[in-house]
Chain A
């Protein structure tokens, strides 16, 4: 099992540019979560999907952030335009809802730096 795959692992961009983060969940998992981690705010849940449908996006900070899950094996988190305060580590996690174990499996994260 390859685990949750995220790309890129590191991204450095200039303020105002569009950034797209990618995630491939574990095969067979039907729930997907995007988190942001910073020193100041800790681990924040941004959005989560179940069966490719966004269930709760209340954690998305503002309209500059958007997330999609076009199919069961791929999701993107886009920031447009990016700002320095978006610098953080972004994690994707997946799980199998309905199995009552509730365990989430995390990817290695994407470290985003906006200058």
Chain B
């Protein structure tokens, strides 16, 4: 069965610093991988996804993630954090069929001046 582990429930960075949110998955089939962002009092919004093809995926708001099969990882990065990036980020893997997703526990990103 598929599963997702997000390392670090809370990450704090300075404005302008690199953002790195870690995600490892387990899947018995080639995975489809996702990062969602949740701003306070809102629903989840898709940041980016990997299905097939290029392993470096670019998303909205300057975020990108790289699928590394050998490491079973899909870490999310952004070169320079902005105050508006403060939110909770969820990594997810598809379980196949019916578009069911398995979500990680989430990582809350804080950005301080």
A48 at the interface (CB under 8 A from B): yes
Residues of B near A48 (CB, < 8 A) are: 98, 100
A43-B106, A48-B98, A97-B98 are contacts. A103–B43 as well, Cβ < 8 Å? no
A42-B106, A43-B90, A43-B106 are contacts. A102–B44 as well, Cβ < 8 Å? no
B61 at the interface (CB under 8 A from A): no
B55 at the interface (CB under 8 A from A): no
A56-B100, A95-B99, A108-B42 are contacts. A102–B106 as well, Cβ < 8 Å? no
**B92 → chain A, closest Cβ, in Å?**
8
Comparing B15-23, B45-53, B73-81, the segment that makes contact with chain A is B45-53
A91 contacts B98, CB within 8 Å?
no
A50 at the interface (CB under 8 A from B): yes
Which 7 pairs show the lowest CB-CB distances between chains A and B? Answer: A106-B43, A95-B99, A102-B94, A106-B44, A102-B99, A50-B98, A97-B99
13 contacts between A and B (CB under 8 A): A4-B43, A42-B103, A42-B105, A43-B44, A43-B106, A45-B103, A96-B99, A97-B99, A100-B51, A102-B94, A102-B101, A103-B34, A109-B43
Residues of B near A73 (CB, < 8 A) are: none
Taking each of A56, A95, A101, which has the highest tally of chain B beta carbons within 10 Å of its own beta carbon? Answer: A101
Q: Which partner residue on chain B sits nearest A45 by CB separation?
A: B100
CB < 8 Å neighbour of A102 from B34, B36, B103:
B34
Taking each of A43, A95, A106, which has the highest tally of chain B beta carbons within 10 Å of its own beta carbon? Answer: A43
